[in-house]
Structure 1
């Protein structure tokens, strides 16, 4: 098992950012060269949507966390230089979204994220 020698991933910042709809706080968890792969019904596993760097990730976070919906961090597990978490969301009309993320970490920052999401249709 490999462990990171740098600072630890900040679980509390993740929770506060998700549950307070704070995209800026969440962005602080990403490395400058981070890559985010998104898989859902429009971005299939063989052709995921890929966001590279903090600017592209910031635009996505700003969009998601500006929507009229609630976000909740359900679970988060950190082990060495990897982390995984589950997030549930709900729109005012009752539509629910569930996402699962697997993270690679360097010096306590996210360098790679694979996010799989599904929502009521």
Structure 2
């Protein structure tokens, strides 16, 4: 796998096309991903450590076939934030707000808050 420097276009395409191979190139080996949602409240968030665990999570997510669009990006040299508007195949909406810390063009920390209709 070749190393890629993160840019919003690459990230958007990887998420929207569910391309885990490209996503893997955007994370540092020691990256951490934290998710807060209904299943993982603030007192017990889902915490994934390392690129491999994060990629396994994304691979599992591709089985859900979410149609996602990235909007409202805020970008700086060391931070990136965006909103993800998604829809499950049955039509149920899902919304996520994601905040990324960057180091040397790679994601080192990701914090995502996600909600969906029950």
TM-score, normalisation: structure 1: 0.88
Change (3 A) 1:37 1:44: same
- Supply the distance in 2 between the matched residues of 1:8 and 1:90 (Cα, whole angstroms): 28
Structure 2 match to 1:19:
16
Kindly state the Cα deviation for residue 64 of structure 1 after the two structures are TM-superposed. 1.2
**Aligned with 2:61: secondary structure?**
helix
Aligned match for 2:98, one of 75, 96, 101: 101
Mark the runs of 5 or more structure 2 residues left unpaired by the alignment. none
1:99–1:118: 8 Å Cα contact kept in structure 2? yes
CA RMSD of aligned residues (A): 1.5
CA offset digits 1:21-59 (Å, max 9, x no partner) = 111111211100000001001111122110000111011
Structural mapping, 1:34-53, within 5 Å: 34-53=31-50
Structure 1 runs of 4+ off > 3 angstroms?
Answer: none
Secondary structure class of the residue paired with 2:31 = strand
Tell me the TM-score normalised to structure 2 length. 0.90
Q: 1:64 aligns with which of 61, 66, 88?
A: 61
Aligned-pair distance for 1:88?
A: 1.2
